[in-house]
Amino acid sequence: MWRKFLNSNSSAIDILNEFKILKNSQIDEKEFFKLYLEACSFLCKSECSILLFKSKDDIEHKLSYNKPSDNFIQNAKNLALKALENNFAYERYDENNANLDSPYIFVFKNYKQDSLIALLLDKSSQSQFNEMLVRTQLINDTPYLYFLKNQETKNQIDTLENVNTSLSSTKNPLELFNIIIHKDNFKLALLTLVNELSFRFHCSQVSIGWIETKKIKTKAVSSIESFEKNSDTISLLEELFEEVALQNETLVYPNEDISLALYESKEYFIHKNITQLVSIPIHHKDEICGVLVCEMIDDELSSHDIDLLKLIVNQISPWIINLQQNDEFIHKKIARKFVRFIENTFSVKYTGLKFVVASLLILLIASFIIKVDYKIDGISTIETDNVTYISAPYEGMIDDVKFSEGDDVLKDQLLIELNTNELKLKANESKSNIIKYTQEAEKARATYALADMKIALSKRNETKIALERVNYYISQSKIKAPYDGIIVEGDKTKLLGAPINKGDVILKIAKLGSMYLKIKVNERDIDNIMSTGKFIFLSRPGKVYTITVDKIIPIAEVDKDEGNIFVVKAFINDEQQSWWRPGMSGIAKLDAGERTLFWVATHRLVDFFRIYIWW
């Protein structure tokens, strides 16, 4: 049985020894990762840790140590995608943690594996935090070596033992990582790296080239602080860099097993008169970022030394890349990011997303260029100013109504008959009185009573005037239409038999020949309208009519729905139809000139901010 071997008093050396045991163990995979998580937590002083695996579509959580929170797990899964690209990633952890002053989630990718480890580290001390990061780079090959150990191929097992043995020698990567990570300058870090590798692997000379504007340039040569860039040796070295980058694999010269024609390696080998030439490409995110060249005189690097060199340079490359980017001038940083943006834009990755983004960008640009006819909507009604009010000519009662509200009427068409019975009685009475006063006047004349005669004649004249008035009222009892039009007000059922007083409005007649549109326009749009537009009736929306604005009533009105509005008077250009009636409503669209699509879509929002955000 595999036992739990760590505790809070375990030293870093004890924990590293346990990693060696894990690499050579033959326990089952689940138990291995359980102990691996525990060992990572103790080595890096993390309160908890989790194991993540990259599946086809997502990041999956497999195992945990010390019960991390769900929030920690979710944040680690979000950070895992970035760690897969850069080999590691970290970000601040906002959840309150009483034991840590500056909690950070750190996720690192295991060497040559699709598994990741997430730790909770304290960044209150930058140097201690950097040391923890270096420790993760030292142990991230543990799962890889564990799986190699459990394979049946003898060569792989021998390679594993050689690498493990090298960890306890002067070629210990941990010590080298500690040295490089404390360098804050790109060139100084590379110079330190080549000097350390030359010393630890007993090389006569170690050179390193780094990519610069798509070409690999010499950046550091061991034991040489400065060198002539145009010298023959440096030129041959840079040609060797290009050959290694083109082959994209470790080249050892001379080596009878290699079937490739290594012209530059051979030429450099002859030029330097050395025993062995080892060239190792350095990768970052699956792309070559540099080349390491080791020269040996009177000795040769073993296969496990070469494997260890490959492990060192490829694990340390992210730190070197970070230093290079920090040392760049601002214009180079901008240029590099722009080039990366262009490359990512035109690469085949995320084609669907790029298509959507490109489409949206094209639409956005088009919205600033393409102009459309912008129109302002307004609620409209048919109106007419030729409305006649028909009032009662005298006090009486309505005897008969010949129309209904909404009827078309012709000029002189009988509309209403008033009751004349009382008027006729008054007329007969007046006629009798006229005869009576005429006889009295004749009688007074016969008796020469001149005063009585004049009185009788005066009464007769007064009665004649009253008779004329009654006859006039009788003639007005039949109310007729003054012109061709339509009854717009007057309810037959209410008028029939109703008593009326003199001057009461009985009905309204509208003349159909001079109708116009009354359009309500919101005050925010009134300044944009032009003199033309279109109109449709709600009752017949299939027909569109052109209109011409006549004038704008310069006094605002309050509408319960629209707020402040202005009334626009407009005429319909098309021939007037027989079915048009005053009061009919519709929608008018008044021309407001050409506007860009972007202006049409955003001007309301812009106006909103202009109204509420100003000073």
The per-residue pLDDT for 481 is 84
pLDDT for residue 570 is more than 90:
yes
Return the pLDDT at 17. 80
Phi, then psi, of 235 in degrees rounded to 5: -65, -45
d(CA 489, CA 403): 11
Q: How far apart are CA 47 and CA 38, in angstroms?
A: 10
Q: What is the CATH number of domain 12-163?
A: 3.30.450.40
Q: Which has the higher per-residue pLDDT, 395 or 159?
A: 395
- Please tell me whether the peptide bond between 254 and the residue prior to it is cis, using omega within 30 degrees of 0: yes
Give the strand pairing for 396-401 and 414-418. Answer: antiparallel
Tell me the per-residue pLDDT of 304-353, one tens digit each, with 9 for 90 and over.
Answer: 888 888 888 888 888 888 888 887 778 777 887 887 777 777 777 778 88
| Between residues 5 and 16, the one the model is more confident about | 16
Reading across the β-sheet that carries 414-418, which strands appear in turn? 478-480, 414-418, 396-401, 499-500
pLDDT, tens digit (0-9, with 9 covering 90-100), for 475-496? 888 888 888 888 878 887 788 8
* pLDDT score recorded for residue 384: 82
Is the fold of 12-163 the same as that of 169-343? Answer: yes
Take residue 353 and report the two structure tokens written for it.
């997303």
Place 168 in a pLDDT band, splitting at 50, 70 and 90.
Answer: very low
Assess whether pLDDT exceeds 80 at residue 166: no
Question: How large is the average pLDDT for residues 594-610?
Answer: 90
The per-residue pLDDT for range 283-314, each reduced to its tens digit, is 887 788 899 999 999 888 888 888 888 888 88
What average pLDDT does this structure show over 408-426? 85
pLDDT at residue 266, rounded to an integer = 85
Q: How far apart are CA 508 and CA 292, in angstroms?
A: 104
Confidence of residue 182 (pLDDT cuts 50, 70, 90): confident
Return the SS3 of 404. coil
169-343 fold? Beta-Lactamase (3.30.450)
What confidence score (pLDDT) does residue 167 get?
47
Share of the chain above pLDDT 70, in %: 93
Residue 110 gets which letter from DSSP? Answer: P
pLDDT reported for residue 94 = 80
CATH top class, domain 511-612: mainly beta
Domain map (residue ranges) of the chain: 12-163, 169-343, 387-509, 511-612
Q: Are 381 and 517 in contact (CB under 8 A)?
A: yes
pLDDT-derived band at 159 (thresholds 50, 70, 90) equals: very low
Distance in angstroms (rounded) separating the CA atoms of residues 33 and 143: 8
Is the pLDDT at 527 greater than 50, yes or no? yes
Give residue 260's pLDDT.
56
Q: Rounded to whole angstroms, how far apart are CA atoms 532 and 569? A: 12
Task: Supply the pLDDT for residue 169.
Answer: 52
- pLDDT tens-digit series, residues 67-76: 888 888 988 9
pLDDT band at 203 (very low <50, low <70, confident <90, very high): very high
pLDDT value at residue 587: 93
pLDDT band at 171 (very low <50, low <70, confident <90, very high): low
Q: Is 329 helix (H, G, I), strand (E, B) or coil?
A: coil
Q: Kindly report the average pLDDT of the chain as a whole number.
A: 84
Residue 185's pLDDT is 85
Written as six digits, the tokens of 248 are: 């994209």
**CB distance 456 to 440 below 8 Å:** yes
Average pLDDT over residues 235-260: 81
Helix, strand and coil percent figures for the chain, each rounded to 5: 45, 25, 30
